Amino acid sequence: MKRLCASTFARRLFKPRTTTKKHKHLQESKEKMEQSPIVTVNDNNDYQESRESMEKSDMITASANNNFDSQSATENGKETGSYVATNIILNHEFLDGLHSWHPNCCDAFVVPAGSGYHKGLAAEEGCCYAVVSNRKECWQGLEQDITSRVSAGSAYTVSACVGASGTFQGSVEVLATLKLVYQNSETSYLFIAKKSASKECWEILEGSFSLSTMPDQVIFYLEGPPAETDLLIKSVVISCPSSTACDSSGTSSVCTDDDNIIINPQFDDGLNSWSGRGCKVALHDSMADGKITPMSGKAFASATERTQTWNGIQQDVTGRVKRKLAYEVTAIVRIYGNNVTTADLRSTLYVKAADNRERYIGIASVQATDKDWVKLQGKFLINDSPSQVVVFLEGPPAGTDILLNNLVIKHAAKPPSPSPPVIEDAGFGVNIIANTNLNDGTNGWFPLGNCTMSVQTGSPHIMPPMARDSLGAHEPLSGRYILVTGRTQNWMGPAQMITDKVKLYLTYQVSAWVKIGKASGPQNVNVALGVDSQWVNGGQAEVSSDRWHEIGGSFRIEKQATKVMVYIQGPAAGVDLMVAGLQIFPVDRTARFRHLKRQTAKIRKRDVILKFSGSDSGSLFGTFVRVRQLQNSFPFGSAISRTNMDNEDFNDFFVKNFNWAVFGNELKWYWTEAQKGNLNYKDADELLDFCTKNNIQVRGHCIFWEVIGTVQAWVQALNKNDLMTAVQNRVTGLLTRYKGKFPHYDVNNEMMHGSFYQDRLGKDIRVNMFKTAHQLDPSAILFVNDYHVEDGSDSRSSPEKYIEHILDLQEHGAPVGGIGIQGHIDSPVGPIVCSALDKLGVLGLPIWFTEVDVSSDNEYVRADDLEVMLREAYAHPAVEGMMLWGFWELFMSRTNAHLVNAEGDINEAGKRYLALKHEWLSHAHGHIDEQGQFSFSGFHGSYEVEVVAVSKKITKKFVVDKGDNALVISIDLS
């Protein structure tokens, strides 16, 4: 769901930045597993994975002199022998100590030339080098932020002179890696190259990389040797020899041209067209005694004397921004002062509508520092024709200056036409795990960490159910399992390399039996993958020692990896781990779709007999009949927002292709009462009016939201009595105002993942919320709503846990009437989704997918994922509706999840959605038989029948409802 930063509530309503809830559930287990040699990555902005938090707490700061002047550029260029191929690494030979370099969770120092500190590598005189020491993990090393000096589409070469020192024998591997951080807090690691290094001589590590899209932050670092081994670095060169775009300023991607709507973007004309938003602005050619100079051009501006986080530098762009056009914003920024070294810096659009309504659109954010210039990049689109538009920078704490070197806003280029991935010899259903039945002992397996593996007997002989649903008939398992003992860390367990067996863009299903030894309570067990330096979740389950448990999940790799390892981890140190029958196999979605089509026909279609009568009924035999379905009655809906309604293209697509809606933010408490006592129902009223006029029903989302990060600051500050009063006022005010207008309500969102109200007001508050809502609007169906219920990746919201939660509410009197499954999912696998639906279906409550979105850079892969979710939902008898969490680019929570591009072009995912909608409409034609009837089988919904007689044509409408028996409809033609 879209989130609103709590700090902005008291000031204004701010459009949430792009977020995703993927892998939120793994935070607790990650904290336990943070010492794993596989670096974990969490792409949810509400949580930080352990590595990032360690970096922030343990980082050793070096010199603050980070300006990249012409002299350093010239010196760096000498390394490559070409001034065109300028080295973008600052202080590449450590002549200025650790200036511009940062040790990553370890220590570092520079050895002066000729010191002989490491005698085996001291043959060359006149060279200093860096020593990275006190390394506790293999990934710890030395890094440099190169964000502002690289650009998408350029090819870069890397050459580093490296060595190692320590007690090791032989050689160790040194790796060059990029850490890529994106706007929605997605983080990935791009492997560049590796080299074996020894204690005897320096080695040259060489590689290359290019970026198809530009992240918000690009960090280069060297890593790799085992813990306690010192990493030695003599020089680093990163150059772009093939492109003149890579100049010493590193700002090729922000060059100004005629279509830049910003006036005076590089301050060549002083501060003309610029002003301060609640603060002062000043022009500089340098700051901090010359330590801060422009990245490009001759000057930069500062927003100073800031007393609020929203204060910053701004420019009015009214009249230069066109509605319904996508714009890309790129800025070079940094911060200075007030002892703040890093801060979130945002670009924001202030928009004032013709009716004086004000709103703020978040464009992009970046973690800015006081050490280097960084690139801030994002996109926006305006749907209406506002009376005023202002772009400004904001975010750092009061008292900290915002520095801006240049700003470009121009029409965003359309991406190139995508191509479907080509996958040869997919091997659907073939297990890529070697020796899975352990017929050859532990051959092919190895223990991750200092633990012991042995083969035992006594595990289940049958395939786990979810895998059996995918594979069909399968030979029994051997009954042998791997027992892992002596586990001193929770990440320790059995592992296997599968690098050469995994194919890009294939969706793999994961399945295994797992069990634990004696433990104090249930433990989380996780099938994980180390994809180069990235951690990937393959499935998670809560496991006890009393029985074998099924663990299932899925994954997909979309970028080439040099190393892929699968391992099973999770229980606390000292707890034995048992694993049997691990299966990892690519799933055949086409075969699954054939099954679902047959199932859909049984669930969503009904036999219909049209029985004709009238004055000429005796002569109807042989008359031509054409039946056309006008609309499928199954609810297919989408999230919308008030700003969407100003775009007629958005409205047209929405009204034509959806029959239900849900408001993204406009009904939530933090929107309707951002400040205490200031009620705002105008946006919700207008959205509801739009839907009512277009015969679209609306889900009420949501009355409360249990996750503390979504609760306004003023609500969090209330004492217990005042909070209880505020809760009562909220539910009474909302449901009284809209009584009978919302058929559904999500009463208290995400109770499996948050507990703000329960912690403050006691467990009974959840039940009371349901009871009060039912009393105020008895006609509404009251839902629970949560995420990661359907994908096997979250032990906290597994179907079993969700069932327990619902039953507990009901047993205490809560009138729970529906089950919401959000559906924010990655690499969906039909049998896994179906298994969750089967389990929840036992409760007999209607199930709705309430917030479905799927994400992939490749539109064809995204379309396949979307088809999986749509077909599984439509083919399951317990599912009574599906809502997408948006469909229009720049108005969705997740990137690369849209069906329609920002300017209205329908992409491959959108075309797939429309094709399925068309497939689920029934059409028939033929002739009236001797009994005066015409029969067909059709999907539930509204129809039109056309009877073409000799002298006239008659059209009638009818509805096909759900039912097990044939539906007989009498049609009078008189």
621 with 675, same domain: the answer is: no
Query: Which of the four pLDDT bands, split at 50, 70 and 90, describes residue 619?
Result: confident
pLDDT of residue 534: 92
169 with 225, same domain: the answer is: yes
Token readout for 72 is 């350093």
Query: Does residue 735 surpass a pLDDT of 50?
Result: yes
Would residue 568 count as lying in a domain? Answer: yes
Would residue 481 count as lying in a domain? Answer: yes
pLDDT of residue 176: 94
Can you name the residues that pair with 172 across neighbouring β-strands? 197
Would residue 7 count as lying in a domain? Answer: no
DSSP 229-259: PEEEEEEEEEE-TT-TT--TT--GGG---TT
Question: Chain-centre distance of CA 139, in angstroms?
Answer: 25
786 with 649, same domain: the answer is: yes
DSSP conformation class of 318? T
CA-CA distance, 934 to 416, in Å (whole number)? 50
pLDDT of residue 151: 83
Query: Which of the four pLDDT bands, split at 50, 70 and 90, describes residue 941?
Result: very high
Torsion of Cα atoms, 9 then 10 then 13 then 15, to 10°: -40
Question: Chain-centre distance of CA 115, in angstroms?
Answer: 50
Residue 566, phi then psi, degrees to nearest 5: -105, 140
Query: Which of the four pLDDT bands, split at 50, 70 and 90, describes residue 429?
Result: very high
| Average pLDDT estimate for 937-947 | 97
558 with 499, same domain: the answer is: yes
Would residue 662 count as lying in a domain? Answer: yes
**Residue 602 CB partners (closer than 8 Å, separation 6+):** none
Active site residue 206: no
pLDDT of residue 185: 62
520 with 626, same domain: the answer is: no
Query: Does residue 23 surpass a pLDDT of 60?
Result: no
| Average pLDDT estimate for 674-690 | 97
Q: How many residues does the chain have?
A: 974
Containing structural domain, residue 210:
102-239
CA-CA distance, 476 to 905, in Å (whole number)? 50
Query: Does residue 853 surpass a pLDDT of 80?
Result: yes
Query: Does residue 14 surpass a pLDDT of 50?
Result: no
DSSP 559-605: S--S-EEEEEE-SPTT--EEEEEEEEEE--HHHHHHHHHHHHHHHHE
Active site residue 305: no
pLDDT of residue 95: 85
Would residue 153 count as lying in a domain? Answer: yes
CATH number of the domain that residue 474 is part of: 2.60.120.260
Would residue 205 count as lying in a domain? Answer: yes
313 with 337, same domain: the answer is: yes
| Average pLDDT estimate for 586-615 | 94
pLDDT of residue 615: 60
Query: Does residue 535 surpass a pLDDT of 70?
Result: yes
pTM for this one? 0.75
% of the chain beyond a pLDDT of 70: 87
Would residue 15 count as lying in a domain? Answer: no
Query: Does residue 448 surpass a pLDDT of 70?
Result: yes
CA-CA distance, 134 to 101, in Å (whole number)? 16
H runs (alpha helix) in 648-681: 648-657, 669-672
Exposed, middle or buried, 58 (CB in 10 Å: 0-12/13-18/19+)? middle
Query: Which of the four pLDDT bands, split at 50, 70 and 90, describes residue 120?
Result: low
pLDDT of residue 43: 34
Query: Does residue 747 surpass a pLDDT of 70?
Result: yes
Would residue 960 count as lying in a domain? Answer: yes
Cα distances (angstroms) measured from residue 509 to each of 599, 797, 829: 22, 19, 7
pLDDT of residue 258: 52
CATH number of the domain that residue 884 is part of: 3.20.20.80
pLDDT of residue 33: 37
Query: Does residue 654 surpass a pLDDT of 70?
Result: yes
| Average pLDDT estimate for 664-669 | 98
Evaluated on CA atoms 241, 245, 249, 250, the torsion sign reads negative
Between 65 and 709, the higher pLDDT residue: 709
What average pLDDT is seen over the chain? Answer: 88
565 with 696, same domain: the answer is: no
Domain end residue (candidates: 920, 941, 961)? 920
pLDDT tens column, 31-89: 333 333 333 333 333 323 333 333 333 222 222 233 333 333 333 333 333 333 578 89
Which stretch of 26-30, 54-58, 442-446 has the lowest confidence by average pLDDT? 54-58
pLDDT of residue 617: 55
931 with 905, same domain: the answer is: no
What's the Rg (C-alpha) of the chain?
31
Domain count, the chain: 5
Which stretch of 107-121, 538-552, 810-824 has the lowest confidence by average pLDDT? 107-121
Exposed, middle or buried, 853 (CB in 10 Å: 0-12/13-18/19+)? buried
Q: Which among 851, 859, 872, 889 is annotated as catalytic?
A: 851
Among residues 76, 92, 166, the alpha carbon closest in space to that of 128 is found at 92
DSSP conformation class of 75? H
Query: Which of the four pLDDT bands, split at 50, 70 and 90, describes residue 616?
Result: low
Query: Does residue 170 surpass a pLDDT of 90?
Result: no
645 with 660, same domain: the answer is: yes
CATH number of the domain that residue 967 is part of: 2.60.40.10
pLDDT of residue 877: 97
Q: Which among 666, 750, 790, 908 is annotated as catalytic?
A: 750
pLDDT tens column, 753-783: 999 999 999 999 999 999 999 999 999 999 9
pLDDT of residue 22: 37
665 with 532, same domain: the answer is: no
759 with 802, same domain: the answer is: yes
Which stretch of 206-215, 297-306, 885-894 has the lowest confidence by average pLDDT? 206-215
CA-CA distance, 526 to 448, in Å (whole number)? 14
200 with 230, same domain: the answer is: yes
| Average pLDDT estimate for 478-498 | 97
pLDDT of residue 186: 73
